[in-house]
């Protein structure tokens, strides 16, 4: 069953929603966490490739709308044929003890549906961003995770970047004086077939903001100190695409501290992926800011006036994220990025849309 058919037929810890795993420590130490990949697009395959061989967590199941497409991948990763599921028989995962958790790599409009099914089946959930198509859906999932005593974690890989964390540390500790401003942008040219799910409002949830703009929103929030008190935004729309799908968005956040953040997301221009942070005594620039691997951090300093590039180790975010997810399931850690964090992102993005529609500043609800 295709995704479109499916829709028709059916401490740097961030405080937030956390449900402790119920599996005993002895049982958890006996084997790695088994994860089923739900949706086998290019990103899911990248995750599988980059996390292969981890001792704490391993892919033990696949869920796809095309079983024939999944079969060669299952053979490559040593996954038994009876651990390959379709969207139609997804509920059978509840009886599969080889699968402790699922990683949802589906279009945003399907996140809540499959996360809810997985939680009800007793599985832990890591879900691609955004966690759901709305903050209301995300809150419902968070409550369900608590009720079921399961970990619900958004797959915010950028949090696990040492470069992002170094910028955040310097801001939090005011190493270069108080924070003044944040500027975050992400974009690339998106020219996909008209039938691609990203151009279907029911499947995509939103346009470029939901697809890549969430990175800009996250960086501004992580550095600005939480949810802004006020948002102003504008969106752009290509007439050749569905009216509900924006392909360009720009926003301004005002935080309670007086910090101002600006950001954007776009499917209109050549690849851009940049974060610029201004403090009283310095500036810090991540460019690229949120690739899967390969960030670069430059710092401009006074006394004496100089520019330095920090030679932080090149670190793959995906294995670090997966290892942390496994630690949370085993009860060794609490999610550094939580369901509450994902809810806040959705609240802010909803405010961006509201501001663009009303053409005025709005408060985050």
Closest by CA to 185, choosing from 147, 157, 151, 214, is 214
Give the pLDDT mean for 84-112: 97
Beta partners for 298?
285, 309
Give the pLDDT mean for 149-167: 98
Tens-place pLDDT, residues 276-293: 999 999 999 999 999 999
Q: Between these two residues, 8 and 263, which has the higher pLDDT value?
A: 263
**pLDDT (0 to 100) of residue 244:** 76
Mind listing the domains of the chain with CATH numbers? 3-156+327-335 (3.40.50.720), 162-314 (3.30.360.10)
**For residue 163, is pLDDT > 50?**
yes
Residue 213 DSSP symbol: I
Tell me the DSSP string of 22-88.
-S-HHHHHHSPEEEEEE--SHHHHHHHHHHTT-SSEEEEEEE-S-HHHHHHHHHHTT--GGGEE-ST
**For residue 78, is pLDDT > 70?**
yes
- Helix, strand and coil content of the chain, in percent to the nearest 5, comes to 40, 20, 40
Over the chain, what is the mean pLDDT?
91
Confidence of residue 304 (pLDDT cuts 50, 70, 90): confident
**For residue 23, is pLDDT > 80?**
no
> What does the alpha-carbon distance between residue 209 and residue 194 come to, in Å, rounded to a whole number?
19
**Torsion sign (Cα): 76, 78, 81, 86:** negative
> What does the alpha-carbon distance between residue 321 and residue 335 come to, in Å, rounded to a whole number?
10
Q: Are 192 and 247 in contact (CB under 8 A)?
A: no
Closest by CA to 155, choosing from 47, 232, 228, 81, is 47
209-to-107, 214, 316, 352 alpha-carbon distances in Å: 14, 6, 25, 9
**pLDDT (0 to 100) of residue 195:** 67
Q: Against a cut of 0.75, is the pTM above it?
A: yes
**For residue 42, is pLDDT > 60?**
yes
Ranking 8-17, 38-47, 267-276, 291-300 by mean pLDDT, the lowest is: 8-17
**For residue 28, is pLDDT > 50?**
no
Ranking 83-97, 226-240, 284-298 by mean pLDDT, the lowest is: 226-240
* Strand ranges for 267-360 from DSSP E: 272-279, 282-286, 297-301, 306-310
Q: Between these two residues, 192 and 357, which has the higher pLDDT value?
A: 357
Confidence of residue 295 (pLDDT cuts 50, 70, 90): very high
**pLDDT (0 to 100) of residue 2:** 39
**pLDDT (0 to 100) of residue 199:** 85
**pLDDT (0 to 100) of residue 30:** 64
């Amino acid at each position: 069953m295709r995704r479109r058919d499916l829709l028709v037929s059916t401490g740097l810890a961030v405080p937030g929603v956390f449900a402790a795993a119920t599996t005993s420590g002895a049982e958890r130490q006996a084997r790695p966490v088994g994860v089923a990949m739900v949706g086998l697009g290019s990103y899911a395959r990248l995750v599988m490739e980059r996390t292969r061989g981890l001792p704490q967590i391993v892919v033990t199941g696949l869920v796809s709308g095309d079983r024939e497409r999944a079969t060669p991948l299952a053979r490559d990763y040593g996954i038994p044929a009876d651990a390959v599921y379709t969207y139609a028989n997804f509920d059978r995962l509840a009886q599969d003890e080889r699968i402790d958790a699922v990683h949802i790599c589906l279009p945003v409009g399907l996140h809540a549906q499959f996360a809810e099914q997985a939680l009800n089946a007793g599985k832990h959930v890591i879900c691609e961003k955004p966690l759901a198509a709305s903050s209301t859906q995300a809150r419902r999932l968070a409550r369900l995770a608590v009720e079921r005593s399961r970990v619900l974690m958004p797959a915010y890989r950028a949090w696990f970047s040492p470069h992002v964390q170094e910028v955040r540390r310097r801001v939090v500790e005011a190493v270069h004086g108080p924070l003044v401003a944040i500027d975050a942008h992400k974009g690339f040219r998106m020219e996909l077939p008209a039938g691609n799910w990203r151009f279907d409002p029911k499947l995509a949830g939103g346009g470029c903001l939901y697809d890549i703009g969430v990175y800009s929103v996250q960086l501004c929030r992580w550095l600005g100190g939480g949810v802004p008190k006020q948002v102003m935004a504008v969106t752009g729309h290509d007439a050749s695409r569905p009216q509900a799908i924006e392909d360009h968005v720009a926003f301004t956040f005002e935080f309670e501290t007086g910090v101002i953040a600006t950001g954007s997301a776009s499917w209109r221009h050549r690849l851009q992926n940049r974060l610029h942070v201004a403090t009283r005594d310095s500036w810090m620039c991540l460019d690229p800011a949120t690739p899967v691997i390969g960030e670069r951090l430059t710092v401009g300093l006074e006394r004496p006036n100089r520019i330095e590039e920090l030679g932080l180790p090149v670190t793959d975010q995906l294995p670090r994220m997966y290892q942390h997810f496994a630690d949370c399931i085993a009860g060794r850690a609490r999610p550094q990025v939580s369901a509450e964090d994902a809810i806040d992102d959705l609240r802010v993005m909803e405010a961006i849309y509201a501001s663009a529609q009303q053409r005025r500043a709005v408060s985050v609800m």
